[in-house]
Structure 1
Amino acid sequence: MIRVSGVCSGKSHPGKLHREENFPVASRLIHPRNRGPILAFYRFVRAADDIADDPNLARDKKLRLLDSLERGLTGSRPASPEAEPLRISLAERGLSPRHALDLIEAFRIDVCKTRYRDWSELMGYCTLSAMPVGRFVLDVHGEARDTWPASDALCAALQIIDHLQDCAKDYRTLDRVYLPVNALSAFGVGVEALGAPRASPELRACLTDLGHRTALLVQDSANLTTLVADARLSLEVAAIRRLALTLLDRLKRRDPLSESVHLGKAGFALTAAAGVAQGLFARAVAGNPARLLRDGR
């Protein structure tokens, strides 16, 4: 049995994983029958993330550990405590491991790649690092695949928001820069600007421009709330969209090199609640009112 629990990027703490993100992970809005598989997926992904982001592990060691996680999930090696719950959940639901395997490939990219040439290359990374998360959640709920494009846009936006608010930390601790190099160059700055105590006006302008592009992705997901059949999941989506737009607004006003962009506990709860209210209204207008308290769909 291979264990990776000792690997730590400093992000997680056992038992609190789903409470530490910018966006809800299997919140109480999700029906209990679907929370287990989603949390199993999340813990598997977090284990892989901790491997890729551990500053004390050599590249080859990281890749070997990621390979072991993958083999544990597919059953080609003895089970691991990180992979086994997800493997069992997939088997019980008759779901493919494809989405989890795509994420493992994204973490391999993280280990080996530290710069992105342009927006297109960054979006290519998001097809592996972000979009599979939404697709997995949709599959768990039995949603139609015509929900995927809107979900892909939202998940890519969430990933890029993380990149924007953590740009200094990623550069300082891992020499990893997700901000497209040509975007930085367009504003007359290089990646070394991310190591400064405060963002220069030029870097702030670049971050604002990337925030605008990210907001367009959130806009492309606007119909996801009403496309999703499951009412509980629909409201979770609405909460996530509201949180994403709020964080993008904070990124316009705050310097991620010297200030926290994350929402506090109260701000997170109030913003999510406002998103839920918007979601209820949208579904009512669309003739698809939420019935979550009655039957979960």
Structure 2
Amino acid sequence: MTTQAESTSADSDLAQPLAETPSGKGAKDENFPVGSFLLPKHLRPHVATYYNFARAIDDIADNPALSGAEKIERLRAFDAALKGEPGYGPEFAKAHALRESMAATEVTTKHGSDLVAAFVQDARQNRYDTWDDLVGYCLLSACPVGRYLLDLHGEDQNTYRYSDALCIVLQVVNHLQDCGDDRRELDRVYILGDWLREEGGAISDIDRPSASPVLRRVMDRMLDSCEALMVDARQLPQAIKSKHLAMESAIIVRLADRLITLLRNGDPLATRVALKKTDFASAAIRGAVSGFLSAGKGVDP
């Protein structure tokens, strides 16, 4: 005979895997290196722990089978587990692991909670009208990643400005790369509504098999705004004291520049606009050298 306690335990065991909704995506699918060999060996496991948490909550936010309410419930549970609130078991292992990692490295859990807030916003909001609106979202969805890495390496918070610029660019170009898929699969649109209307278009322009002249103009305006941010982003490697992190960031800066160029010349609705192995190789060689030489030199006045 099964007791009530045993039944409850069994039900709990069955429920545990449902906290996450893995998509199968991983570090290899990102536009930038995640915890590469350039980073100090003793810090790489912490970077992997942060990425695993981010991947888990991102997969929840992007799961088309979940309702907005279900996404928010799961995301808030991950945040509560990250903060050490009682009642969250092994099904939230990635949150517990990040909390322990952050405690060991003295990095604030805010850099995890901000990501949760961004994905909660994704569950509630699927349109962005202005550039400032989109930047506000990126401050939660992308900038915490750069800030986490800076804090993990003991960098001054004055470097946030340059890291934020780079992270916002990376997020926006990712939105442009995925604009067709985001619209089709999640009805999520990061192409700016105000700019679409100003150019005489509408969201339906994203539903076409190729970019209309209107959508092309809006994408170019968004890339122009990214170029403006790259002025600060390119100063990040020399603002960083750690040669390891400076090399890594210099590589990512070059990848961001390359993605902007590819999106200028490509059509993300007609075909996947993505970095090639040669792009990664070129950025790795040139970026590692320039980052090593520029680390700690200070930013241009």
> Which structure has the greater CA radius of gyration?
2
Shift of 1:6: 5.1
Does residue 30 in structure 1 map to residue 39 in structure 2? yes
Kindly report structure 1 stretches of 4+ aligned residues shifted beyond 6 Å: none
Q: Deviations over 1:161-208 (max 9, x none)?
A: 111111111111101011111111222211111111111122112111
> How many correspondences in the alignment?
282
**Residue in structure 2 matching 1:229, options 226, 235, 241:** 241
- In 1, the alpha carbon distance for the partners of 2:234 and 2:260 equals 16
Q: Runs of 5+ in structure 1 lacking a partner?
A: 288-297
Q: Which residue number in structure 2 is paired with residue 208 of structure 1? A: 220
Q: Which residue number in structure 2 is paired with residue 57 of structure 1? A: 66
Matched residue SS, 2:263: helix
Q: Deviations over 1:216-256 (max 9, x none)?
A: 11221222111101001001000000000000000011000
Bigger mean CA offset, 190-199 vs 69-78: 69-78
Q: Which residue number in structure 2 is paired with residue 146 of structure 1? A: 158
Matched residue SS, 2:136: helix
Shift of 1:283: 4.2
- In 2, the alpha carbon distance for the partners of 1:149 and 1:7 equals 33
TM-score of the two chains, using structure 1 as the length reference: 0.90
**Percent of residue pairs bearing the same amino acid type:** 37
User: Residue type matched to 2:152 in 1?
Assistant: V
Q: Deviations over 1:143-172 (max 9, x none)?
A: 011111111111111111111111111111
- In 1, the alpha carbon distance for the partners of 2:134 and 2:159 equals 22
Shift of 1:20: 1.6
Matched residue SS, 2:43: helix
User: Residue type matched to 2:88 in 1?
Assistant: P
**RMSD of equivalent CA atoms:** 1.9
**Residue in structure 2 matching 1:167, options 179, 184, 188:** 179
Matched residue SS, 1:246: helix
Q: Deviations over 1:105-143 (max 9, x none)?
A: 000000110001100111111111111111111010010
Q: Which residue number in structure 1 is paired with residue 4 of structure 2? A: none
- In 1, the alpha carbon distance for the partners of 2:18 and 2:38 equals 30
What does residue range 88-103 of structure 1 map to in structure 2 within 5 Å?
Answer: 88-103=100-115
- In 1, the alpha carbon distance for the partners of 2:192 and 2:84 equals 37
Q: Runs of 5+ in structure 2 lacking a partner?
A: 1-11
TM-score of the two chains, using structure 2 as the length reference: 0.89
Does residue 158 in structure 1 map to residue 167 in structure 2? no
Q: Which residue number in structure 1 is paired with residue 202 of structure 2? A: 190
Does residue 39 in structure 1 map to residue 48 in structure 2? yes
Q: Which residue number in structure 2 is paired with residue 70 of structure 1? A: 79
